[in-house]
Structure 1
Amino acid sequence: MPHTPSPTEHLDQLVHAALARATGSLSPAAALLAWLDWSTHLAASPGRQIALAQLACTQTAALAHYLRDCLLAGPGDARALVLPPAQDRRFAAAAWQTWPFNLLQQSFLLTQQWWDAATHGIAGVESHHERMVAFWARQWLDAFSPGNQLATNPLVLQRTAAEAGANLVRGAEYLTADLLALASGQPPAAQGFTVGQNLATTPGQVVLRNRVMELIQYRPATARVHPEPVLIVPAWIMKYYILDLSPHNSLIKHLVAQGHTVFCISWKNPGAAERDLGMDDYLAEGFHAALDAVGAIVPRRRVHATGYCLGGTLLAIAAAAMARDGDARLASASLFAAQTDFSEPGELGLFIDESQVSLLEAQMAETGYLRASQMAGAFQMLRSYDLLWSRLVSNYLLGNRSATNDLMAWNADATRMPARMHAQYLRRLFLDDDLSEGRYPVAGRPVSLGDLTLPIFMVGTTTDHVAPWRSVHKLHFLSPAEITFVLTSGGHNAGIVNPPGPDSHRSYQILTRAAGGTYLGPADWQAAAATVPGSWWPAWQQWLAAHSGAPVPPPRLGTAAYPPLADAPGTYVLEK
């Protein structure tokens, strides 16, 4: 049963919730502790202080020589002092190599280099605090990047001169419209995209609805189908139709077209009434209720279960419990960008510690759920250039308004998470890492990923900030199962929404570790895995077919016990 706070505990919750609202759901105590840890140990390290002072002097002298070379030889002939990281595109345009902007960008990169040295390798600093200080130093520096300022961005100045300032007028209009939308609590309109019209259009029927989810069964598109159905478990942090976007990039449509019987969970968008739903409820009334329905509609067939993000973590928990209990209804498990070991969660772990989680818990206790906007800020900071600064410059300084695509429309279709479930997820998995260490309980008994022996197909993405691929890869030493692992280009979303086509610029690596085979760490795996151009979707579909029986006539939509209730995409996906 949920804990009922005492009056004094309730007072603390109110204060903490007010603090969370004032700080954008970020814990000031966590940031302060990190800063104190770093600054105290730096203050006690005179040798390191001398080394940093020497670095600053060296950089200043080098910048002075660079200025001299620019004045004497011309900016195009002066050799750059420091090059940006390969993934940093801020100063890629030729205009940044002209005077005086070349000096500005070189000065900025040198400052960035100095702060990187200053925030790493200080003896005695706790590793989590070191990462936090380095992260916040980067955020502070990025805010003052010359590329983000009107007067110091050559591309903006060129556009302003060419358009006599019209770009700034448009930018002011866009800014006003966006601020009004933000004040009203409404995201920018996803113009041209409507769920059920040009998004989530694969034909099907809702065959089950409960307080947690709707289950959609998709209409077959072939005369014969693989006998084992596919059950997709998306994350409840997102609406399911990221896997059924437009017809040309719908993974669900692709599977149906290849002769698979496909079922997909569509999670309810919870509100205050669902505040006490926990992980056990999502397991019982989500995955297991869906699996029961699939088994009734397609009887005597094992199921290819597929999980994406948190849905993959839930699937791993469920599959481990089924293996523990001798339940053999699963034919295979496919996990897309899904972590099972949370000891190294990547940069997302910067926002998950005891101080941060307790602050979120207080705020969720007041509202009953976690809003999408409370998560969006953290994700934006993890990719501040791509998701924040480049868009601000493009929209408000250059006066560009890029057209919305289907993935952007989906991303604006926000969801919430129940307070109890989200707190359990953060504590049991992120903070305590109970699943990988064999402590996570299902039905009162712990489960072990070491019990997983069914064939597993896993996908990691190279630039994933939510589920870093090296963390996803860790299932290799947690389970003895046959694991086919794919590492594809792209991020957490775009790497998964990766349709095949002649114009695909993507590639992936793939390697199968036999059941009970030797463990390869991430670096060794990358060196051994073959690289294949294009989308990984066909490889997964062929893997599913290889683990399936001979084709049979397709099943009916629903049964007497699970009658069709509504056309796909159902009603839960439309809830705001």
Structure 2
Amino acid sequence: MTPDSLQRLFEDWTRHWMLPQQTPGEGAAPGALASDPRFKDPAWTATPYGRFLLKWYEAAGQTAQHVGELGNQLPAHQKNLWNFYVQYAVDALSPSNYFLTNPQALQKALDTQGKSVLTGLTRALEDLQNNALPASTDASAFTVGGNLANTAGAVVFQNEVFQLLQYQPLTAKVSAVPVVVVPPCVNKYYAFDLNEQKSFVKYLVEQGMQVFMVSWRNPHAGTTQAGWEEYIYDGVHKAIKVTCDVASSPRTNLLAWCIGGALSFSALSVMTAAEKKRIASATFLTTLVDYSDHGDVGIFIDPPQVAAMEPRLRMKGVMPGQDLAKAMAMLHAKDSIWHFYVSNYLLGDNIPPFDVLYWNSDTANVPANLYQYYVENMYLKNLMREPGALQLRGRKSDPGNLDMPCCFVSATEDHIVPWKTTLLGLDLVSGPAEFLLTEGGHVSGTVINHPAKSRKSYWFNGPRTTDPEAWQAGAEKHQGSWWPEWQRWVAQFSGKQVAAPQALGSADWPVIEAAPGSYVLEIVPQG
């Protein structure tokens, strides 16, 4: 920071305070803060003290904009890092985050005769002991296998990497060709099966599809050496084979999400011709194949940060799920951290139940070998798109090996997996390929989008191009959830209707236990 830059910041700050400014009346926050939900409570504008705090924070925000401009001359990634941490500091310094500078918290303490303070302090001490983020939902309101993940089914296979669930048919006839779902290994599978009003699994079963689900094991620190190869061969390949065997079908449809999509794409890229015959179609839900744009998570992924993290990962043997959750929360700290910090600790408000946030907080560890391989070879080196660049158990990967029908599904507001970058997958696969774009975010637009309640839109039947503007301009826009559209697409590859199986499992793969299975319920130390 040069002396001229410091002088400019000082002058801007002084000018903001010394120039005559319109004082907002009661109930109105100044300037850019007028629509900020942090300051909507009347306590912020009811007293000179509250109005002073708002004026101070408005000045700080304007100064921070100029601080951000100091990074304009940096390389692109360093500029993003600079802007990210400047904004992170601005959000952290909000007067709403501190008891003595939050008029709403002070007023509530007075109104409740200190009970709100006692409640908040108790919660804060508990979370500090557990090294946890402020709770985003009332965890006591949910039970996996009770009011979450309760679609009827059974575990029909398990190894050290995953369990395979088969769901009970709900129709007399089912499609002969099943679908196997591969979720991310950084989260638990039941985002696809939250409850009857949101369940993607239940919806597919109601449409007469045979549905199988991978439930990844949540590894203990220091107990696993599994890496990318194990998750490919002992995970995805094995799940496909067992699904075909149990369903008595020579083929299966595959649907995979996020890093589950990356694992599945990698698995297909090394399949032999005989193995590929088992794949009727492949769908990649918010999945990067080309990693030229990392999305928001790129803030945390560069050679120095990855190298600095490696010794810790090797020592623990896992990337703790809580660490990943904290990193994701930092990307939107104002909403994902500070909102709950204020509500839980300063205001002592009741914590409402929210099933999606419960799932999000139910974190899973990731094997250190897998995590390191993924960030180094995909995020840093972008090798998944390069034929022959990766070798998995002696087989060279090739995206052109994907000659089966493929469908890429992405979301307009997904900041983790940018949709314009997922579109590049159309150029990498060699078979027929479709792209479907839905409104919404990484979870809210895709996995949680039941047709009965959806107010979103989606685009489909666009030209096969990797130009985002050209694709969207040529695609058809429809109202509603993308689920029925995809179900119509996959029906082409799902065979004829046959009698639904009377029992789950098979002679070779008998039922082990009821769904949701023990792997998703296992309590594992974070490492």
Task: For 2:440 and 2:45, locate their aligned partners in 1 and report how far apart those are by CA, in whole Å.
Answer: 29
Residue correspondence of structure 1 range 36-51 to structure 2 within 5 A: 43=2, 49=4
Aligned residue number for residue 170 of structure 2: 221
**Cα displacement (A) at 1:263:** 0.7
Match of 2:440 among 482, 490, 494: 490
Q: Which amino acid aligns with 1:566?
A: E
Q: Indicate the larger mover: 414-423 or 92-101.
A: 92-101
Residue 68, structure 1, aligned to residue 21, structure 2: yes
Question: Contact between 2:27 and 2:45, CA under 8 Å: does it hold in 1?
Answer: no
Task: For 2:181 and 2:147, locate their aligned partners in 1 and report how far apart those are by CA, in whole Å.
Answer: 21
Task: For 2:302 and 2:510, locate their aligned partners in 1 and report how far apart those are by CA, in whole Å.
Answer: 45
Aligned residue number for residue 500 of structure 2: 554
Match of 1:537 among 483, 486, 494: 483
Residue 575, structure 1, aligned to residue 527, structure 2: no
Task: For 2:33 and 2:480, locate their aligned partners in 1 and report how far apart those are by CA, in whole Å.
Answer: 30
Residue 116, structure 1, aligned to residue 68, structure 2: yes
State the TM-score, normalized to the length of structure 2.
0.88
Aligned residue number for residue 25 of structure 1: none
Question: Contact between 1:221 and 1:257, CA under 8 Å: does it hold in 2?
Answer: yes
**Cα displacement (A) at 1:231:** 0.5
Question: Contact between 1:190 and 1:408, CA under 8 Å: does it hold in 2?
Answer: no
Task: For 1:497 and 1:63, locate their aligned partners in 2 and report how far apart those are by CA, in whole Å.
Answer: 48
Compared CA separation, residues 78 and 292, structure 1 to 2 (3 A): closer
**Cα displacement (A) at 1:94:** 6.7
Residue correspondence of structure 1 range 89-108 to structure 2 within 5 A: 89-91=37-39, 99-108=51-60
SS at match of 1:473: helix
Aligned residue number for residue 282 of structure 2: 333
Task: For 1:303 and 1:240, locate their aligned partners in 2 and report how far apart those are by CA, in whole Å.
Answer: 19
Aligned residue number for residue 147 of structure 2: 198
Match of 1:464 among 409, 414, 423: 414
Compared CA separation, residues 60 and 331, structure 1 to 2 (3 A): farther
Question: Contact between 1:230 and 1:262, CA under 8 Å: does it hold in 2?
Answer: yes
Residue 453, structure 1, aligned to residue 453, structure 2: no
Q: Which amino acid aligns with 1:258?
A: Q
Task: For 1:76 and 1:482, locate their aligned partners in 2 and report how far apart those are by CA, in whole Å.
Answer: 61
Question: Contact between 2:29 and 2:39, CA under 8 Å: does it hold in 1?
Answer: no
**Cα displacement (A) at 1:380:** 1.5
Residue correspondence of structure 1 range 510-521 to structure 2 within 5 A: 510-513=459-462, 517-521=464-468
Compared CA separation, residues 172 and 527, structure 1 to 2 (3 A): farther
Task: For 2:219 and 2:27, locate their aligned partners in 1 and report how far apart those are by CA, in whole Å.
Answer: 60
Residue correspondence of structure 1 range 300-339 to structure 2 within 5 A: 300-322=249-271, 327-339=276-288
Q: Which runs of 5+ in 1 are unaligned?
A: 1-41
Match of 2:122 among 141, 150, 173: 173
Question: Contact between 2:182 and 2:256, CA under 8 Å: does it hold in 1?
Answer: yes
Task: For 2:258 and 2:505, locate their aligned partners in 1 and report how far apart those are by CA, in whole Å.
Answer: 27
SS at match of 2:497: coil
Residue 564, structure 1, aligned to residue 517, structure 2: no
Compared CA separation, residues 541 and 451, structure 1 to 2 (3 A): same
Question: Contact between 1:218 and 1:261, CA under 8 Å: does it hold in 2?
Answer: yes
Task: For 2:505 and 2:8, locate their aligned partners in 1 and report how far apart those are by CA, in whole Å.
Answer: 73
Question: Contact between 1:63 and 1:81, CA under 8 Å: does it hold in 2?
Answer: no
Question: Contact between 1:272 and 1:368, CA under 8 Å: does it hold in 2?
Answer: yes
Question: Contact between 1:178 and 1:188, CA under 8 Å: does it hold in 2?
Answer: no
**Cα displacement (A) at 1:503:** 4.5
Question: Contact between 1:101 and 1:154, CA under 8 Å: does it hold in 2?
Answer: no
**Cα displacement (A) at 1:105:** 4.1
Task: For 1:424 and 1:162, locate their aligned partners in 2 and report how far apart those are by CA, in whole Å.
Answer: 54
Could you list the per-position Cα deviations for residues 234-292 of structure 1 after superposition, in whole angstroms to 9, with x for gaps in the alignment? 11111111211222211111111110000111111112464321211111111111111
**Cα displacement (A) at 1:344:** 1.2
Compared CA separation, residues 104 and 263, structure 1 to 2 (3 A): same
Task: For 1:343 and 1:433, locate their aligned partners in 2 and report how far apart those are by CA, in whole Å.
Answer: 7
Question: Contact between 1:342 and 1:433, CA under 8 Å: does it hold in 2?
Answer: yes
Q: Which amino acid aligns with 1:117?
A: E
**Cα displacement (A) at 1:75:** 4.4
Q: Indicate the larger mover: 53-62 or 534-543.
A: 53-62
SS at match of 1:474: helix
Compared CA separation, residues 68 and 355, structure 1 to 2 (3 A): closer
**Cα displacement (A) at 1:427:** 1.2
Could you list the per-position Cα deviations for residues 414-440 of structure 1 after superposition, in whole angstroms to 9, with x for gaps in the alignment? 211122222111211111111023312
Task: For 1:496 and 1:162, locate their aligned partners in 2 and report how far apart those are by CA, in whole Å.
Answer: 43
Q: Which runs of 5+ in 2 are unaligned?
A: none
Aligned residue number for residue 21 of structure 1: none
Question: Contact between 1:181 and 1:188, CA under 8 Å: does it hold in 2?
Answer: no
Task: For 2:63 and 2:55, locate their aligned partners in 1 and report how far apart those are by CA, in whole Å.
Answer: 12
Task: For 1:447 and 1:332, locate their aligned partners in 2 and report how far apart those are by CA, in whole Å.
Answer: 19
CA RMSD of aligned residues (A): 3.0
Question: Contact between 2:254 and 2:282, CA under 8 Å: does it hold in 1?
Answer: yes
